[in-house]
Structure 1
Amino acid sequence: MMEANRDPDMEISAKSSTTAGDITPTHSVATEDVDSLPDYTHSYLSPPPFIKETVPCPGNTYIIRHPVTGRQITLERGELRLKHHTGEQGGYHWVCVEKGGWLGFYDPIHGTYMGRNNKGGYMAKVKHHAGWENFCARRHPDGGYLLLTSHWFCLMKMDVDKSGTKLVETFGEGKGTAWEFVKV
């Protein structure tokens, strides 16, 4: 039986004490190239904490995040990229609008809409919501929403390329990214 005024943490540390240099902590790394170390706060090894899921609806503003890396769809010189939060300069807030039943995502800072670029990717360079800026959001069974765009007689899914920073169109079962919509 433990005495009432004994600290259990002190008891554990006293039993497991060692001399300096006996144990190397699991987080220590010996390297000269600090830039080559993974960023565990935003890596595939450590997903960001769960955020309450939000359904994309017209009239609301969202940050659209990649569910594993926590990177957000950000407008950078007319091109859409996945970036970690880059401060308050803008380019990552998207106003959801509706036209003809299709969703559109409008950047209020630059006055442009997210859309297909006809090269297998996405951009935000035009100031209108027409066919190439039309999106449909489909609930994914594992959480989040697939973003779909029409391409002739099929729906293409917005996905991330191998570099993890560019947005690309993809087609087929099991493809596409299930995006998180964080209401702001």
Structure 2
Amino acid sequence: MSMDAAQEIASLEFSEVVAKHRQQIFRFLLASTRDVDMAETLTQDCFLKAYRNWSGFRGESSALTWLMRIAINLQKDHWRNRRLQFWRTTRTNAVDVDEAGDWLPSNESSPEQQVLARERIKDVWRAVEKLSGRQKTVFLLRFVEEMDIGDIAETTSLSEGTVKAHLSRATAKVREQLGGRK
């Protein structure tokens, strides 16, 4: 097989991976940053970095786990880089919590119940924002991405026990912020 043919096959495989996992990566980054533009930028950075390293991907983990690890590292770099933290001073591009509430499935039918559901969502987001970086990441991977403990451990390069500890602390803090409500 020629080098051009091998590169073409690798490109096709990578585009399938992008098509399959882009939404999950974006959703995680959106939940982490709560900024649509930043989540889109970090998602693009994630896939650019993955593409550049695609030939080195050995399949020791799933493609999603590998991509999520890249996304988490980009997210950490974003938070560390003070020059990019403009979102703290302006929320003009931030996701509106009421709008996010419309994205969630709801069986409530009355306007009053919908308002109460949106208020609960706001309360949860406020509580999540107060978590430490690792706790927030583990919490979002578990409850937004619905990953199991083993996948979270592999994605974050933490032991399962450490993931469970961070998840337990994060859940307790969120519950405490919500006044003990579930």
TM-score, scaled to structure 2: 0.25
Instruction: Specify the structure having the higher radius of gyration (Cα).
Output: 1
Structure with a larger share of its residues in helix = 2
TM-score, scaled to structure 1: 0.25
Question: Which fold has the larger relative contact order, with Cα–Cα distance below 8 Å and residues 6 or more apart in sequence?
Answer: 2
